[in-house]
């Protein structure tokens, strides 16, 4: 089962603990989490269903490639980290 973890900065807005679940893609993993925490959808996704700009996701240590459709593949033992993206200058 893959593991999905949400950074404390996200949990401050929507309380959500890490989960182990079965999913083939990032989209599938997030949909499984949204069933238990529907408010999280609006915090993570924009009105087109893509990942909001202030967030990023790392899958097995690599930043996701598909921010629009969230189609990045997950392995059975993938580790997914959802964090707020840093910006500024």
Reduced to 3 states (helix: H, G, I; strand: E, B; else coil), residue 85 is coil
**For residue range 15-31, what is the model confidence (pLDDT) as tens digits?**
999 999 999 999 999 99
**For residue range 29-80, what is the model confidence (pLDDT) as tens digits?**
999 999 999 999 999 999 999 999 999 999 999 999 999 999 999 999 999 9
CB 64 within 8 A of CB 56: yes
Specify the DSSP element, H or E, that contains 24. Answer: none
> Is 89 within the bounds of a domain?
no
> Is 73 within the bounds of a domain?
yes
> Is 13 within the bounds of a domain?
yes
> Is 66 within the bounds of a domain?
yes
> Is 8 within the bounds of a domain?
yes
pLDDT value for 5: 98
What is the number of domains present in the chain? 1
Domain that holds residue 25: 2-84
> Is 51 within the bounds of a domain?
yes
> How far apart, in whole angstroms, are the C-alpha atoms of residue 25 and residue 23?
6
Any idea what the CATH number is for the domain that residue 17 is in?
A: 3.10.20.30
Report CA-CA distances (Å) from 77 to 37, 38, 54, 69.
23, 25, 26, 21
Of the pLDDT bands very low, low, confident and very high (cuts 50, 70, 90), residue 85 is confident
């Amino acid at each position: 089962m893959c593991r999905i973890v949400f950074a404390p900065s996200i949990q401050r807005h929507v309380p959500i603990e890490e989960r182990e679940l079965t999913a083939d893609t990032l989209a599938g993993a997030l949909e499984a989490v949204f069933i238990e925490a529907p408010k999280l959808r609006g915090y993570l996704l924009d009105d087109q269903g893509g990942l909001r700009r202030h967030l990023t996701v790392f899958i097995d240590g690599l930043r996701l490639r598909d921010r629009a459709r969230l189609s990045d593949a997950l392995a059975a033992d993938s580790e997914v980290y959802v964090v707020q993206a840093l910006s500024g200058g």
